[in-house]
Amino acid sequence: MGVIMINDLIKSTNLISVPSEYAFPAKPEDLNMLTEKEVEQVTVPVIDFSTLTSGSPDQRSKTIEDLQNACQDWGFFMVVNHGVPESLKNDLIASCMKFFDLSPEEKSPYRGKYEIDPRIVLDHETNLNTAVDSVSFWRDQFRVFVHPIFHPPHSPEGLSEVLSEYTKRSRDIMKELLKAIMEGLDLEEDGIEKLIEQKSGAQIFSANLYPPCPQPELAIGLPPHADHGLLTLLMQNDVDGLHIKNKGKWVAVNPTPNSIMVNTGDHMEILSKGKYKSVFHRAVVNNKETRISLVMTNGSPNETAAT
């Protein structure tokens, strides 16, 4: 039997309500959003990446300071001028979309358990914690180890090439950001090479697909969670849905086109001795458009999923 994912379900049936297994019971704190007025007053910190690689010493120091504040106050920041061509992002989104559009039979060889085995994992009902144990998320995901061993899916054609290119570029961005963050923490920079180059350090890519949902307020794309690694890099198509928790309230972020959203994870909290928290975030769904997010994170191969 093939793998029926939410994308397949949407295409094959005319859903007008959320099936019961997808109904997400929101808790009061889940609804604690900023008011529209408050939203206008908050801006997620923006980091100009080019100042780290080709800025003057003063510009670089200023950005390191901005990073310190961003990690401390938000655990989230938006990276611009990072050098990843928009065409690469669009090609990767298109290839991932083609993967999700493979027939259930074509997807079935990729079904598996997420273990040390660095192969692709196809996942449509991962539950992150016992509180939401019986709920399926309104999301299809495929997740694949991309470093130290690169294991892309064989189909669709072309996915492997674009993913390989994005793996390299995002790794360089991650390293440069980590170097600057370490500098801000007065930690030895060369420790980073060890941290993310050592054999046990893994880089994991996941593509998340959130199809339109007939009753978005009843379902959840991805419930509140924190990530495991040092940093998570996220790019998306032009559809918003990422919320981050800041000072006890949920903030909907609207990344500027072609920016990369970055958040600090559990390993960063440990590395910074608790100064930079592993921040909570979630993905909500909408009833109009399909959202895709491309997530690159690091962790160790014997850990369970990034998400």
- Using CB under 5 A, list all residues that contact Fe ion: 227, 307
Please tell me whether residue 170 binds ligand AKG under the rule CB under 6 A.
no
* Distance from C-alpha of 258 to C-alpha of 191, rounded to nearest angstrom: 30
Write the Ramachandran bin of 60: left for phi over 0, alpha for psi from -120 to 50, otherwise beta. alpha
Distance from the Cα of residue 207 to its chain's centroid: 8
What does the alpha-carbon distance between residue 58 and residue 248 come to, in Å, rounded to a whole number? 34
Question: Do strands 231-236 and 291-299 pair parallel, antiparallel, or not at all (unpaired)?
Answer: antiparallel
Min dist. Cβ of residue 97 to ligand AKG (A): 15
Instruction: Quote the CA–CA distance of 240 and 245 in Å, as a whole number.
Output: 16
Per rule CB under 6 A, is residue 281 in the interface with ligand AKG?
yes
In the complex, which residue's CB is closest to Fe ion? 227
Name which of residues 60 to 99 contact ligand AKG (CB under 6 A): none
Q: How many residues bind ligand AKG (CB under 6 A)?
A: 13
What CA–CA distance (Å, rounded) separates 89 from 94?
9
Q: Please pick, from the candidates 180, 222, 230, 251, the single residue that binds ligand AKG as defined by CB under 6 A.
A: 222
CA distance 220 to 209: 12
Distance between CA 124 and CA 114 in Å, rounded?
A: 13
Cβ neighbours around 183 below 10 Å, total: 18
Give the shortest CB-189-to-ligand AKG separation in angstroms.
27
Q: Within positions 236 to 275, which residues make up the interface with ligand AKG, using CB under 6 A?
A: 241-242
Peptide bond connecting 148 to the previous residue in cis, omega within 30 degrees of 0: yes
Pick one of ligand AKG, Fe ion, none as the site partner of residue 63 (Cβ within 5 to 8 A by kind): none
The number of angstroms, rounded, from the C-alpha of 195 to the middle of its chain's C-alpha atoms is 20
Nearer to ligand AKG, 153 or 265 (CB): 265
**Interacting residue with ligand AKG among 6, 293, 296, 299 (CB under 6 A):** 293
**Residue span binding ligand AKG (CB under 6 A) among the ranges 15-23, 73-81, 195-203, 234-242:** 234-242
Query: Rounded to the nearest whole angstrom, what is the least distance from the CB of residue 283 to ligand AKG in the complex?
Result: 4
Q: Which residues 6+ apart lie within 8 Å of 8 measured at CB? A: 104
- Show the binding pattern over residues 25-64: x = contacts ligand AKG (CB under 6 A), - = does not: ----------------------------------------
159-184 vs 86-100: helix crossing angle, rounded to 10: 120
By CB under 6 A, what part of segment 143-162 binds ligand AKG?
A: none
Residue 74 CB neighbour total at 10 angstroms: 22
When the beta carbons of 52 and 121 are compared against ligand AKG, the nearer one is 121
- Give which of Fe ion, ligand AKG, none residue 5 binds (C-beta under 5 to 8 Å, depending on kind): none
Contact status: 208 vs ligand AKG (CB under 6 A): yes
Residues within the interface to ligand AKG (CB under 6 A):
206, 208, 222, 227, 234, 241-242, 281, 283, 293, 295, 306-307
